[in-house]
Chain A
């Protein structure tokens, strides 16, 4: 009996030892809005993220003011009129990654299920993307639509340039193993 317990204990210790946290500080999030008047694309390279391979827990944090637009005035309007980023300075995701195998080396599909908070409104998302484990790096990529209405983001009626009701978000993260 004692031996069995010991064995389980040892196994569990092994599992915990193998469970690793991965981190990124330069994650990229791009949003693209296609509208008849103008296509608008903005890029953010200051996204931070944490990923735990044991539990599959995945979290990321997007500082809204770090989105870069081709026109500086557009960037100002994005922050002031749409995202109200002085009130809601960041967008966050808190969830779990499922449907992948940790031993597979090639590119594989995975699903991220969890809570995405934008503009202070939390919505449950189920995002499919791809995952690539390479040495001590894990690369994740996903493209998914975000409806402005879902997050209570209003388009001011007097604004001349249109923003699509639904924007396309591309996330591109390269996680690195946290060395202890």
Chain B
């Protein structure tokens, strides 16, 4: 009898064990699955490589060329005669090329002051990167600009035309909707407007982006300048909306600054945003994949 019971037990186990195993194939897969550390990274922190006037931590991957067309119109409070600023426009044409995901080089030409600019953007750390698990992305941007405007009243050598800026960009994607960024910045102008003006200027920028839909984000950007004398300059403040349409990002914004490079809008903004000195502007970026991704 005992032997029969034992046999029955074995029989039962034969029937039920495979059935149990079969139920759990997918669960078994899930428990065994390895995840590539790269998959934990947020796919992007911001929609575009520019927040509004300044850079974001966003860089394109290897072999991507980004063509940027940016406009800043005149002040809205100049009235109907100037068509609320639309009659005047400053333009910047720029090219950003990502040699590697962590290394982007860029050049640009601004109609304001007939200025050329060039920058190098180096990714130091990526949010969610394996090993460190630090929830922020860190990027370094150094920018140089040459003002080529002819000024007959002043002997202008190359030295006087140069301005530099250096920035750390620290950004964090907080969740699916929001991202924030801090930008400690140093700007050096070889030539300042006033005799008592400072050549070196420290500023701290702060920016944010908030997702409205999968393709539309709201953005804001503010730089606080740490300076003794303002000499009529103000802190640049901007609000914008990013619309992404595939290979293009359309960025529409209102800002109190006319210039579009760090060496310009940080030390030389003159508009008082809350007094109506608002410029409407836009950036349009177009992406070209020049080399195949790995």
Contacts and interface: CB of A to CB of B under 8 A. Distances in A.
Contacts of A66: 36, 39
B178 to A, nearest CB: 13
A138 interface: no
Nearest to A61: B29
Interface residues of B, number: 46
A77 B31 CA distance: 28
Contact of B289 (A8, A9, A68, A72): A72
B214 A156 contact: yes
B61 interface: yes
Nearest to B248: A160
A46 B124 CA distance: 28
A165 interface: no
Interface stretch (B13-21, B135-143, B180-188): B13-21
Contacts of A71: 289, 293
B18 A48 contact: no
B43 A85 contact: yes
A65 B243 contact: no
Contacts of A93: 26
B60 A52 contact: no
A156 B170 CA distance: 30
Interface string A71-104: 1110111011100011101101110000000000
B33 A48 contact: yes
A85 B35 CA distance: 13
A105 to B, nearest CB: 25
Contacts of B42: 86
A108 interface: no
Contacts of A80: 43-44, 214
A52 B25 CA distance: 8
Contacts of B14: 9, 12-13, 16
B7 A6 contact: yes
B213 interface: yes
B155 interface: no
A76 B289 CA distance: 13
B63 to A, nearest CB: 8
Given A63-B35, A66-B36, A158 B243 contact: yes
A87 B42 CA distance: 11
Contacts of B32: 48
A79 B14 CA distance: 45
Contacts of B62: 72
B158 interface: no
B77 interface: no
A57 interface: yes
Nearest to A60: B29
Contacts of A48: 29, 32-33
B215 interface: yes
B30 interface: yes
B113 interface: no
Interface string B1-27: 001100100110011011101100110
A54 interface: yes
Interface of B: 3-4, 7, 10-11, 14-15, 17-19, 21-22, 25-26, 28-30, 32-33, 35-36, 38-39, 42-44, 60-64, 176, 213-216, 243-248, 287, 289, 292-293
Given A49-B29, A50-B28, A159-B215, 11 more contacts: A9-B10, A16-B18, A48-B33, A52-B25, A59-B29, A61-B29, A63-B35, A73-B61, A77-B246, A156-B214, A160-B245
26 contacts: A5-B7, A6-B7, A8-B11, A46-B36, A48-B29, A48-B33, A49-B29, A50-B26, A54-B22, A55-B18, A55-B19, A57-B25, A59-B25, A59-B29, A65-B36, A66-B39, A72-B289, A73-B60, A73-B289, A81-B214, A86-B42, A90-B33, A92-B29, A94-B25, A94-B26, A160-B248
Interface of A: 2, 5-6, 8-9, 12-13, 16, 19, 46, 48-50, 52, 54-55, 57-61, 63, 65-66, 68-73, 75-77, 79-81, 85-87, 89-90, 92-94, 156, 158-161
